[in-house]
């Protein structure tokens, strides 16, 4: 079965990688259109399977189709190809200069593992699938067992777009099955890249598997993080209560089931008591809300139980009794000295749990920053004057994350051209890439240089005439002009 899947995918690749950009963009837009037309069926199904509220799922579908349209417009625009031309010079002395033209081309069939916490935007027609399709790669999608019916329905929408666009069947293949099936997909010699969103254990296992193939392939695994928030005295002096409230709102949003959930907050000793009180006040009446599935709720309460065995913690709010599906928010405090003593305090708890770490001095904060694991995001809540005094800290924190925020909270990831959703290991397996935003397409393309290739044979993106009218770098300068 796996061989048949890859035979279809590889055959489709030969055709799909060569279709005009406008046909590919039309295909992507058709996916968005069909998803939108099926909103009345998709939304209730996703709500039923994920326990997420209807408003959230409706918004997520909008985010999904918005994402598809973003990639369609990029494909039309063509500048993502990074067409770069160093024209030749046969008269150069002492040796003639070769004509070299480089651009990005798709890598081949991509295996995508969707996330449980975004049944639409990070799943079947999510950012990984769509950025791979936009790059010109067929996708083999391994459905997530937490929302099988939604996954199948969305796959049918994509397949309908494939048929209506007269593309080969193998452009998108939806596969159901467990861990063995997922591993067989990653191991298959025809797979050229893997995209994954989920647990550290899953992402790392697939990364190792791909690295140990006869032909190693890249695995872009987004495995989440604890997204620390650093707070500073002047800012707290002026805005303590609203900051505590916005922290609690971000922490408990969606039962804390976000990879950007801020599970760690550093608070100066002088503000320990008032900040703790403000957080306790903001969180006290928040009841548990349903988690994605019983397995996630069980994992959440197991993590809480572990932390309850640690004497270093003082509980600001304890979780309610273990529940089969509801995740009750919890927060505990710990001194920075204790936090520094054990890496266990850096582990992600998937759900609305946070550690408030109380620090004594800027020096201690530097020690924290040195020890901190790689993160998707780090947030700094400080006034400009005090942040200027922490230039060395900020410099160090740049090395630890993919997105550094100076206002607001890390939950709520914009889908745009400048977004970076991917940080140093262990938050992802490749911090040079992003899984959200237009940059995600680069994961599924590789550069190729054509040397002295005749004009008639060159891809349109590199021809002198610039028939696609795309922005290119010619002799080092960005231009849409043709080459004379
Ligand atoms: P997961 O257990 O990592 O599973 C994600 C996908 O990867 C599933 O399709 C799963 O297959 C597959 N998979 C997992 N381990 C594998 C392995 N060793 N070999 C092959 N395939 C493997 O993630 P989840 O079910 O979504 O949630 C579990 C935990 O992941 C959560 O409690 C949370 O800690 C974390 N999580 C993180 C994020 C994030 O944003 N980074 C998002 C969601 C969840 P099957 O399940 O079909 O076997």
Q: How is the chain split into domains, by residue range?
A: 2-223+432-479, 229-405
First to last CA, the chain: 52
In testing the pocket of ligand 1, which one of 152, 182, 199, 352 has its CB within 8 Å of the most ligand atoms? Answer: 199
How much distance in Å is there from the Cα of 255 to the middle of ligand 1?
Answer: 17
Strands 472-474 and 477-479: antiparallel
Instruction: Quote the tokens at residue 314.
Output: 């003082």
* Ligand 1 atom 13 nearest Cα: 202
Query: Average pLDDT of the chain?
Result: 97
Element spanning 265, H or E? strand 264-268
**Catalytic residue positions, numbered:** 222, 259
* Ligand 1 atom 14 nearest Cα: 202
DSSP code per residue over 70-135: HHHHHHHH-GGG--EEE--BTT-SSSPBPPEEEEEEE-S-EEEE--SS-TTTTSTTSHHHHHHHHH
**At the topology level of CATH, where does 2-223+432-479 sit?**
Aldehyde Dehydrogenase; Chain A, domain 1 (3.40.605)
Q: What is the pLDDT of residue 287?
A: 86
Question: 194 pairs with which residues across the strands?
Answer: 111, 219
DSSP H helices in 173-220: 179-187, 200-211
Whether residue 258 has pLDDT greater than 90: yes
pLDDT tier for residue 329 given thresholds of 50, 70 and 90 = very high
3-state helix, strand, coil in the chain (%, to 5): 45, 20, 35
Q: Is 113 in the pocket of ligand 1 (CB under 6 A)?
A: yes
pLDDT tier for residue 224 given thresholds of 50, 70 and 90 = confident
Q: Is 178 in the pocket of ligand 1 (CB under 6 A)?
A: yes
Q: Is 296 in the pocket of ligand 1 (CB under 6 A)?
A: yes
* Ligand 1 atom 18 nearest Cα: 202
How much distance in Å is there from the Cα of 174 to the middle of ligand 1?
Answer: 17
Q: How far is CA 356 from CA 191, 275, 302, 303, in A?
A: 43, 10, 19, 16
pTM check: above 0.85: yes
- Integer Cα distance of 264 and 451 in angstroms: 52
Query: What are 157-211's pLDDT values in tens digits?
Result: 999 999 999 999 999 999 999 999 999 999 999 999 999 999 999 999 999 999 9
Q: Is 245 in the pocket of ligand 1 (CB under 6 A)?
A: no
E strand residue ranges, 341-444: 353-359, 375-381, 401-405
Mean local confidence (pLDDT), 270-295:
95
* Ligand 1 atom 44 nearest Cα: 198
Superfamily of domain 229-405: Aldehyde Dehydrogenase; Chain A, domain 2 (3.40.309.10)
- Integer Cα distance of 98 and 139 in angstroms: 37
């Amino acid at each position: 079965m796996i061989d048949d899947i890859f035979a279809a995918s590889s055959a489709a690749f030969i055709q799909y990688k060569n279709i005009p950009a406008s046909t590919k963009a039309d295909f992507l837009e058709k996916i968005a259109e069909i998803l939108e037309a099926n909103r009345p069926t998709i939304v209730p199904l996703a709500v039923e399977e994920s326990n997420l509220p209807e408003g959230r799922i409706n918004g997520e579908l909008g985010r999904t189709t918005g994402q598809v349209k973003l990639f369609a417009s990029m494909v039309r625009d063509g500048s993502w190809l990074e067409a770069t031309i160093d024209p030749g010079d046969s008269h150069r002395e002492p040796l003639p200069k070769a004509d070299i033209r480089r651009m990005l081309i798709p890598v081949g069939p991509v295996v995508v593992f969707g996330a449980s916490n975004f049944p639409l935007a990070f799943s079947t027609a999510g950012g990984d699938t769509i950025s791979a399709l936009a790059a010109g790669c067929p996708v083999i999608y391994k459905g997530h067992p937490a929302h099988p019916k939604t996954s199948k329905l969305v796959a049918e929408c994509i397949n309908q777009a494939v048929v209506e666009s007269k593309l080969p069947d193998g452009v998108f293949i939806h596969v159901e099955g467990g861990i063995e099936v997922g591993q067989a997909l990653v191991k298959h010699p025809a797979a050229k890249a893997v995209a994954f969103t989920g647990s550290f254990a899953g992402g790392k296992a697939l990364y190792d598997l791909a690295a140990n193939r006869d032909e190693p392939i890249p695995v872009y695994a987004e495995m989440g993080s604890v997204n620390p928030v650093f707070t500073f005295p002047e800012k707290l002096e002026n805005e303590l209560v609203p900051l505590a409230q916005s922290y609690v709102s971000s922490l408990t949003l969606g039962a804390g089931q976000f990879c950007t959930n801020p599970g760690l907050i550093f608070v100066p000793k002088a503000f320990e008591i008032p900040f703790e009180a403000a957080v306790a006040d903001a969180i006290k009446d928040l009841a548990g809300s349903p988690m994605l599935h019983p397995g996630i709720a069980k994992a959440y309460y197991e993590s809480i139980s572990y932390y309850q065995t640690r004497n270093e913690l003082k509980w600001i709010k304890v979780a309610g009794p273990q529940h089969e599906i509801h995740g009750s928010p919890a927060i505990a405090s710990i001194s920075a000295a204790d936090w520094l003593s054990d890496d266990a305090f850096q582990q992600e708890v998937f759900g609305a749990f946070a550690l408030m770490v109380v620090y004594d001095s800027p020096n201690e904060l530097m020690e924290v920053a040195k020890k901190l694991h790689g993160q998707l995001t780090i947030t700094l809540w400080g006034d400009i004057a005090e942040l200027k005094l922490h230039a060395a800290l900020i410099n160090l924190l740049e090395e630890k994350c993919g997105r550094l925020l100076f206002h607001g909270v890390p939950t709520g990831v914009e889908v745009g051209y400048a977004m970076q959703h991917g940080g140093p290991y262990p938050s992802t397996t490749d911090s040079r890439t992003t899984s959200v935003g237009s940059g995600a397409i680069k994961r599924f393309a590789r550069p190729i240089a054509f040397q002295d290739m005749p004009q008639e044979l060159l891809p349109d993106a590199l021809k002198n005439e610039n028939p696609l009218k795309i922005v290119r770098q010619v002799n080092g300068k960005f231009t849409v002009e043709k080459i004379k």
